Amino acid sequence: MRITPFQTRTLFVSVFIIAICGLIYELIVGALSSYLWGNSVTHFSITIGLFMSAMGVGAFASKRVKGKLLSAFILVEIGTGIVGGLSAALLYAVFATSDYYYVAMVSLILIIGAFIGMEIPLLTRLVGEHQSLKDASANVLAFDYIGALFASILFPIVLLPQLGLLQTSFAMGLLNLTVVWMNLWVFRDHLKDAWELAGLSVLASIILLSGLLWSGQITSYFERRLYRDKIIYAQQTPYQRIILTRWKDDVRLFLDGNLQFSAQDEYRYHEMLVHPAMTFSRSRESILILGGGDGLVIREVLKYPDVQRITLVDIDPAITKLSRAHPAISALNQNSLDDPRVTLAHQDAYKFLEESSEQFGVIIIDLPDPNNESLGKLYSNSFYTLAQRHLAVGGVMVSQATSPYFARDAYWCIVHTAGSVGWHIVPYHTYVPSFGDWGFFLASQHRLKLDDFEAIVPTRYLTPEIFSAGRFFDSDSDEVETEINTLDSQILMRYYEKGWQQWR
């Protein structure tokens, strides 16, 4: 088949587009798996490895296509578009309704990867009808790599925050099908089976366009299956999926599927987190809060009349915006984020500690559990060394530290890691009904007089007796030997996954 220069350029545009779609399918599967299961390194490693292997299989299989290269290429594109476009919806559905998520994940990766692997050899052979093999290979690969670069920038900056995973998946499927329609038109005189291919393309386009138009309802349906209560707010940000639910008076906030608080019992958690540190510190003028964008920690801190400055560091501005604007949360935090003593810093907590030179009388760490690498670094010895530089003389740091019962090794790993930088550590825990047995620790440069504890502000739950009892651990949650969590080892995340795995 002899092709014209214009048709050759059409094929190069096709290469560019399918490279974008192919990489984004890969990112969607990896991101969705990480969102649903945590441990992003494992899921992205599996996704990339299987994709590359499947691409090799597809490339090998392409040599069996002897004739009708253009028809074969268009048919592969239809298959890639429909399977890739439906991939996020299928994975959501399997996760919400069965225990076969990984079977579905691997199957989709292998199918999409094999299709993508067939595309480049077929296109190279088609371009080779007009150019030498040397030029055809170089030009096809160049457009492929440029398209992949474009996709890697487009996905995290535009697609994920603006469309979310489900809409992005449908949109990429439709983009794949634009390649089909473009080639059907440009090569209409070369295709004897154009009408059959067009019919398949129409069917695939209708399916994907319907999915795109109804993606909000589809997402809501699957999320209703994942959350027992009515969803009253949902948002995908560049950092996480935010879900707010309500059942009667119980409002719950979830980040990437993980419960952050329940209105029914959050006071237990926040009183245990805040008041021991505020009581033991010799200075409460300047307070640093890392995490806690819901404003509930600030609510407790503002009970102390001598607090003059509060700096809250939360990487996601969507959380603080929601906590200010949504009546269900602002009523709970008593509009604490609007207090003139509060300064918000929307940046990574690690980066904030690296760049700031300010010292604080109390540092309160209310970060999500370390279920991925980016959070794991915020529980490393390097992080605690940085925090140490910002703690004023006589000051106290406190941190939530996951559950000593459900994730025993993880809890004590966090405690030992903080202690490894030279702090005096006081581990303690309490029962929070929505969380279960939950752990914390105090850290200071001096030994605290623990028997002198008595909250000096009103509390609903915390008493000297409860704090005293919280410093003792049962035999099934008592201290165990662990490694220190470092930026290099990230051993904490493995402890965390191992601990929680048996309870999922």
Structure tokens at 34: 């990480």
- Region 96-105: what's the mean pLDDT? 92
Length of the chain: 504
255 secondary structure, DSSP code: E
Structure tokens at 43: 């899921």
- Region 358-372: what's the mean pLDDT? 95
d(CA 224, CA 229): 8
Residue 410 to residues 122, 287, 388, 482: CA-CA distances in angstroms?
A: 50, 27, 21, 8
Is residue 482 within 8 Å of residue 407, measured between CB atoms?
Answer: no
Q: Which helix (H) or strand (E) holds 500?
A: helix 491-501
Q: Which residues are catalytic?
A: 366
For CA atoms 127, 128, 132, 137, give the dihedral sign. positive
For 31-45, the pLDDT digits (tens) are: 999 888 877 888 999
- What pLDDT was estimated at residue 182? 95
- Region 193-213: what's the mean pLDDT? 94
For 341-363, the pLDDT digits (tens) are: 999 999 999 999 999 999 999 99
Domains of the chain: 5-223 (1.20.1250), 233-260 (no CATH), 263-501 (3.40.50.150)
d(CA 192, CA 78): 17
For 420-437, the pLDDT digits (tens) are: 999 999 999 999 999 999
- Region 174-183: what's the mean pLDDT? 95
Q: Which residues contact 379 (CB under 8 A, 6 or more apart)?
A: 367, 370, 401, 414, 417, 485, 492
pLDDT over 90, % of the chain:
80
- What pLDDT was estimated at residue 435? 95
Please, which pLDDT band fits residue 320 given cuts at 50, 70 and 90? very high
Is residue 432 within 8 Å of residue 265, measured between CB atoms?
Answer: yes
d(CA 112, CA 22): 8
* Start-to-end Cα distance in the chain: 57
Please, which pLDDT band fits residue 1 given cuts at 50, 70 and 90? low
For 441-491, the pLDDT digits (tens) are: 999 999 999 988 999 999 999 999 999 999 999 999 999 999 999 999 889
| Residue ranges with strand state E in 1-117 | none
Residue 102 to residues 19, 58, 302: CA-CA distances in angstroms?
A: 25, 21, 47
Rounded to the nearest angstrom, the gap between the alpha carbon of residue 431 and the centroid of all alpha carbons in its chain is 27
- Region 114-134: what's the mean pLDDT? 87
- What pLDDT was estimated at residue 228? 83
- What pLDDT was estimated at residue 389? 96
d(CA 348, CA 352): 6
H runs (alpha helix) in 128-245: 133-154, 160-186, 194-213, 215-226
Burial state string for 78-90 with b = 16 or more CB within 10 A and e = fewer than 16: bbbbbbbbbbbbb
For 50-71, the pLDDT digits (tens) are: 999 999 999 999 998 887 889 9
Is residue 150 within 8 Å of residue 88, measured between CB atoms?
Answer: no
